[in-house]
């Protein structure tokens, strides 16, 4: 990895271990973020550690997911988050400020620093030359307590970029092309680093979009150099003093490389129901659309809305299309208003919504029955929109605007001359939009609504585990399938007994009742199990229901870590064909499992139906201690020096 940006950031932040491929290291975290769908658990977990203040240079709590207040629960949780932020020394970004990833890169991101967020799309920060990673809430809580973030040393995948985008093509088309070529699981255990002369031709909107969706390739992070494009972006935000130049060194040793000519990328669209099911827009012109949404954390930039505004200016959306706008931040909305973009969109028939995640997480904007929704969002997992029979396609703002006018998926290159976007020298912004914590929070009282429940306590791992296979699922099952989001479910995010009722509801409405009846349970999965959101509820709620192990062909990185952190064994079939030998309802016995884990065994035999199947447990020594204790918080709080031990 010599000469890579990734190596230099890791090396400068290294606290434990060495940069040997495949080994676990602990790194210092400079900045943390949490959003409201995960943040209530982060603060409950941090509070349980008994520390008065957070340790990182910058810690921000955002409210961007659960901003629809259909009853008192979301509003109660917002007050809880604000009071916790004040008590523990965290900057608070209230509802309306915008999506955490978008706002954070505008106001707080610093090239060369590390950022850990309780949201998988924290990877967006890589657009500034940060090492920005998503993680489970308990890991963010530990980082807020000043403890290292542990990660297996990733491989570094170098992407050499040349050329420039052709008109009507942008960063979303690039990341969709990468997903088309390499799949949603190609990046597991890797950081993608962009270099070469073409990178200078990618503006910050393109870089942010690519870095955002890097996690949807399974990547730990994506990193762009901090160059003149970065400096100008920080300067527009009044933050040029945060800039430093960071580039790939002269002799990088890549683990693998890919070459990309931006000039050959064309408008692309991800078809239902996975971001890697990608086809050229020109091949989809027969698909009528009834909803078009531009925005979210992925395409929420000033440039994204202004290009759409220029394309629709003086025109009108197709009468069968609901054309909707979700700006990435209050700042971005304020500036497109000042530039006349909001007027052009409104007069073209667009509905402009509050800055936030909204339909991306299933908080409103659900499509009509049997209709197609075309979105600039990062994910299109089945049911994520809030409608179980949804047909969600993903695209660029250019393709979205063209399709909103035509009423069908449209290659924007058919519209003639592409618009030119100019930027203001300085973006409008008011620092008062953020609520700064007091210098001493000791007298602040935490406000708890009736929906805030204590963290459940889980027992340590037993010597022998006997459990029922509760469900068997296929490849690429997302955390949206395991633990659904949306306006019906997310208000219970601070109430684990209540939210556990929804586990696997999307595909198996009887799962929670069956799990409670079984006592101990096991889940069997395929490849890339747990892809998507970092939400730790996808591990925490199953554990509450008695799930003690998950056996799969392979796990997504963040979900695997979350399983360990809540004491669930992440076992992988040594022979993938053995997946076919286990069915729902089978009884699985794992004898001497505690002794095997304590002894450092990498192979764990399981017994089912009179036969023995070999599984592997690929975890570090630290993670073995966590599993034995029954979870990270058990280990962290069992002794006075538990936090040090948990490192």
What CATH number is associated with residue 86? 3.30.499.10
Residues 272 and 252 in one domain: no
Residue 294 lies in a domain: yes
Residue 449 lies in a domain: no
Domain edge (last residue) among 380, 395, 415: 415
Q: Tell me, what's the pLDDT at 297?
A: 84
Q: Residue 646 — pLDDT band, cuts 50, 70, 90?
A: very low
Residue 439 lies in a domain: no
Q: Tell me, what's the pLDDT at 566?
A: 95
Residues 211 and 78 in one domain: yes
Provide the β-strand partners of residue 549. 522, 569
pLDDT digits (tens, 9 = 90+) for 297-338: 899 999 999 999 999 999 999 999 999 999 999 999 999 999
Residues 226 and 325 in one domain: no
Q: Residue 284 — pLDDT band, cuts 50, 70, 90?
A: very high
* pLDDT surpasses 80 at 373: yes
Residues 581 and 639 in one domain: yes
Residue 441 lies in a domain: no
Domain edge (last residue) among 415, 447, 473: 415
Residue 428 lies in a domain: no
Residues 279 and 255 in one domain: no
Residues 273 and 225 in one domain: no
Q: Tell me, what's the pLDDT at 323?
A: 98
Record the pTM.
0.92
Q: Tell me, what's the pLDDT at 387?
A: 80
What is the C-alpha to C-alpha distance for residues 646 and 568, in angstroms, rounded to an integer?
17
**532 dihedral zone (left: phi>0; alpha: psi -120 to 50; beta):** left
Residues 613 and 531 in one domain: yes
Q: Strands 268-270 and 278-280, how do they pair?
A: antiparallel
Q: Tell me, what's the pLDDT at 640?
A: 38
Residue 431 lies in a domain: no
- The mean of the pLDDT values for the chain is 93
Residues 274 and 253 in one domain: no
8 Å CB contact between 215 and 123:
yes
pLDDT digits (tens, 9 = 90+) for 627-642: 999 999 998 876 434 4
Q: Summarize the confidence of residues 368-374 as an average pLDDT.
A: 93
pLDDT digits (tens, 9 = 90+) for 351-367: 999 988 887 887 778 88
Separation of first and last alpha carbons in the chain: 25
Domain edge (last residue) among 397, 415, 433: 415
Residue 421 lies in a domain: no
What is the C-alpha to C-alpha distance for residues 559 and 372, in angstroms, rounded to an integer?
30
pLDDT digits (tens, 9 = 90+) for 553-579: 999 999 999 999 999 999 999 999 999
Per the structure, the complete domain to which residue 213 belongs is given by: 6-264
Residues 101 and 143 in one domain: yes
DSSP 164-225: -PPTT--HHHHHHHHHHHH-TTTTBTEEEEEESGGGGGS-HHHHHHHHHHGGGGTBSEEE--
pLDDT digits (tens, 9 = 90+) for 83-118: 999 999 999 999 999 999 999 999 999 999 999 999
Residue 80 lies in a domain: yes
Q: Tell me, what's the pLDDT at 67?
A: 82
> Domain tally for the chain?
3
Residues 476 and 575 in one domain: yes
Residues 73 and 145 in one domain: yes
pLDDT digits (tens, 9 = 90+) for 129-165: 999 999 999 999 999 999 999 999 999 999 999 999 9
Residues 243 and 297 in one domain: no
């Amino acid at each position: 990895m010599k000469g890579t940006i990734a190596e230099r950031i890791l090396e400068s932040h290294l606290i434990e271990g060495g940069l040997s491929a495949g080994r676990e290291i602990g790194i210092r975290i400079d900045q943390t973020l949490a959003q409201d769908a995960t943040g209530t658990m982060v603060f409950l977990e941090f509070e349980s550690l008994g520390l008065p203040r957070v340790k990182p240079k910058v810690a921000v709590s955002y409210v961007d997911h659960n901003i629809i207040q259909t009853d008192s629960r979301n509003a109660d949780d917002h007050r809880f988050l604000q009071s916790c932020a004040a008590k523990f020394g965290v900057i608070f970004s209230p509802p309306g400020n915008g999506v955490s990833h978008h706002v954070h890169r505008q106001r707080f991101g610093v090239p060369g620093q590390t950022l850990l967020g309780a949201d998988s799309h924290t990877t967006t920060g890589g657009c500034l030359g940060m090492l920005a990673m998503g993680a489970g809430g308990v890991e963010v809580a530990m980082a807020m307590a000043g403890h290292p973030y542990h990660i297996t040393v990733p491989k570094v995948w170098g992407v050499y970029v040349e050329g420039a985008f052709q008109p009507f093509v942008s960063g979303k088309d690039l990341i969709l092309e990468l997903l088309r070529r390499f799949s949603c699981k190609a990046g597991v255990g890797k950081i993608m680093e962009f270099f070469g002369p073409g990178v200078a031709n990618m503006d910050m909107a393109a870089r942010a979009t690519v870095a955002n969706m890097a996690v949807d390739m399974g990547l730990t992070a994506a990193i762009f150099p901090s160059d003149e494009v970065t400096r100008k972006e920080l300067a527009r935000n009044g933050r040029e003093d945060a800039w430093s130049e960071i580039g790939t060194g002269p002799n990088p040793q890549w683990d693998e490389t890919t070459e990309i000519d931006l000039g050959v990328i064309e408008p692309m669209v991800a078809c239902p129901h996975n971001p890697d099911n990608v086809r050229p827009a020109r091949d989809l012109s027969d698909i009528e659309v009834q909803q078009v949404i531009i925005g979210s954390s992925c395409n929420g930039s000033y440039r994204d809305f202004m290009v759409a505004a220029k394309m629709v200016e003086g025109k009108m959306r197709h009468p069968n299309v609901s054309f909707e706008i979700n700006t990435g931040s209050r700042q971005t909305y304020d500036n497109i208003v000042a530039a006349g973009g909001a007027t052009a969109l409104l007069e073209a028939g667009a509905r402009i919504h509050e800055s936030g995640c909204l339909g991306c997480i299933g908080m409103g904007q659900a499509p009509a029955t049997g209709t197609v929704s075309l979105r600039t969002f990062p994910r299109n997992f089945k049911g994520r929109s809030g409608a179980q029979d949804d047909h969600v396609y993903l695209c660029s703002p250019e393709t979205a605007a063209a399709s909103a006018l035509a009423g069908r998926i449209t290659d924007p290159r058919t519209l003639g001359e592409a618009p030119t976007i100019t930027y203001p020298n300085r973006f409008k912004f008011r620092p008062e939009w953020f609520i700064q914590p007091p210098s001493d929070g000791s007298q602040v009282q935490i406000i708890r609504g009736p929906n805030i429940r204590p963290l459940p306590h889980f027992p340590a791992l037993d010597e022998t585990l006997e459990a029922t296979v509760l469900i068997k699922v296929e490849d690429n099952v997302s955390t949206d399938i395991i633990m659904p989001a949306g306006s019906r479910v997310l208000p219970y995010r601070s109430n684990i007994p209540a939210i556990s009722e929804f586990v696997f509801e999307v595909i198996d409405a009887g799962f929670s009742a069956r799990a409670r009846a079984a006592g101990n349970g096991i889940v069997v999965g395929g490849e890339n199990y747990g892809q998507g959101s970092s939400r730790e509820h996808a591990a925490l709620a199953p554990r509450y229901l008695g799930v003690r192990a998950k056996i799969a062909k392979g796990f997504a990185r963040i979900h695997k870590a979350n399983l360990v952190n809540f004491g669930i064994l992440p076992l992988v079939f040594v022979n993938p064909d053995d997946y076919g030998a286990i069915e729902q309802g089978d009884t699985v016995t794992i004898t001497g499992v505690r002794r095997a884990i304590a002894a450092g065994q990498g192979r764990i035999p399981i017994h089912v139906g009179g036969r023995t199947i070999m599984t592997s447990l690929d975890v570090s020594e630290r993670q073995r201690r966590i599993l034995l204790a029954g979870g990270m918080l058990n280990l962290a709080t069992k002794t006075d020096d538990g936090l040090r031990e948990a490192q």
